[in-house]
Structure 1
Amino acid sequence: MKFYADRVPVALRQLITDILVVLWVYLWIRVAFWIHDMVEKLAVPGQKLEGAGSGIADNLADAGNKVGDVPVVGDDLTEPFTKAADAARAIADAGRQQQEFVDQLALVLPLVAIAVPLALVLFLWLPLRLRWIRRAGVAAAVRDDPAGRDLLALRALAGRPLNELAKLGPDIAQSWRAGDAEAVDALAALELRQLGLRGSRR
């Protein structure tokens, strides 16, 4: 397996690209955490609302219990305190619901923020990088073998632009078909150079 090219300019470009991709992913992870923290701050009013509502409800319930001990009219006096305590509990519930909504938002928004950058890396950059690693690994493994050089030459004939092939001579295809070693080596070197690899040791 070959991760970087043999030729310095290509290898340097690959290394810089890899570093930039890692920094890109790290940056978006940091952004996602920042969004999470900012959204979580929106839960503070809900926490205060819940705390205040629960506190008022408890105080009103205690007051209602004490008033309920008054003989004869105790039950009648308790009813307004009970209703007020129920209203305060409704306020506390609203605060809890607001916190739950904020928690969900704090989970969803960072995921949305990081989904697109990660998708670009996973579906655009990574397949291209893996394809090069696979192709370069195979090419490096076969470049010193005569049959391997012939395969590389065939690959160059099939895939390289005509202007590049024409620079090797007008009869390069015929020379390859005839088994001319120099033509095979020139075509193989062209394919290896396109991958950023050095030529064969032959």
Structure 2
Amino acid sequence: MRLYAQTRTRRCLQILADLIAVVLVAAAVRFALAVHDRIMLLAEPGRRVEDAGGRLASGLGNAGDAASNVPLVGGILKKPLQSAAEAGDGLSDAGQSMQDVVGQIANLTALALIFFSVLCVLAMWLPPRVRWIRRSAHLQGLLDAPGGADLLALRALTGPVKALAAVSPPPGGLADAWRRRDEQVIDDLSRVALGQAGLRP
């Protein structure tokens, strides 16, 4: 199985197409990561809420511990301060939940962008490459088969007229020479058919 053409022009075009596909995939990944980073900026308020809730809970917890040392009313003062500290913990948890949601959205968005971008690049790049690989394998098999050169010559005769300019026509024309099984003409025409596919005999 041949992955690249043997003729220089076709091979250069194939390599260029491969490089463009790689660059497009890399650009898509970079863009997706940039979008991810931008979305993650929305998690900043959640971080602030989590920090504020943590500080509030810690401060109220310390105040409750200090209030419990007050004689007679220490237990009464400690309870509301502990309740307020628990509310601060709830606020901190809400900030963490907000960050988690933003992180999930950022990850899913980046993955979706990468997936669909790579899918689009593959849809444009892969089918022509697979078609060429299959066609080159078919032509190579045809050339190796008995009578394959005749079929390749016929393919060249029925192809674009411009490609036949490389073959010097004998008296009576190329088609007549092919019908007479002129070996030189068949060889020249089969070379033309292979050259159109980017192959050499």
- When normalised by structure 1's length, the TM-score is 0.76
How many pairs were matched up?
A: 196
Q: Work out the CA distance in 1 between the residues paired with 2:148 and 2:9.
A: 25
Query: Could you say which residue in structure 1 is the equivalent of 2:67?
Result: 67
Q: Does the Cα contact within 8 Å between 2:164 and 2:192 map onto a contact in 1?
A: no
Question: Which has the larger displacement, 110-119 or 180-189?
Answer: 180-189
Q: Is the alpha carbon distance of 1:176 and 1:60 closer, same or farther for their aligned partners in structure 2, counting shifts above 3 Å? A: same
Give the conservation status (yes or no) of the 8 Å contact 1:6–1:197: yes
The verdict on how the C-alpha distance between 1:157 and 1:171 changes in structure 2, with shifts beyond 3 A counting, is closer
Q: Is the 8 A contact 1:5 1:197 kept in 2?
A: yes
The code of the aligned residue for 1:148 comes to: G
Where structure 1 has 5 or more consecutive residues not aligned to the other structure, the ranges are none
Query: Percent identity among equivalent residues?
Result: 38
Find 1:193's aligned residue among 189, 192, 195: 195
1:129 offset after TM fit, Å? Answer: 0.6
Residue 133 of structure 1 is matched in structure 2 by 133
Query: CA–CA distance in 1 between the matches of 2:174 and 2:151?
Result: 18
**What per-residue deviation string (whole Å, max 9, x for no partner) do you get for residues 115-143 of structure 1?**
22211232331132122123224424653
Please report how far the alpha carbon of residue 28 of structure 1 lies from its aligned counterpart in structure 2 after TM superposition.
Answer: 1.1
| Residues 154, 90 of structure 1: alpha-carbon distance in 2 compared, 3 angstrom cutoff | farther
CA distance in 2, matches of 1:117, 1:53: 41
Instruction: Spell out, residue by residue over 1:159-186, the C-alpha distance to the aligned partner (whole angstroms, 9 max, x if none).
Output: x47x6799999994x9767756466546
Shift of 1:108: 1.0
Runs of 4+ in 1 over 6 A off after TM superposition: 163-171, 174-178
Partner of 1:82: 82
In the TM superposition, what is the alpha-carbon distance from 1:95 to its structure 2 partner? 0.8
Q: TM-score by structure 2 length?
A: 0.77
List runs of 5+ in structure 2 lacking aligned partners. Answer: none
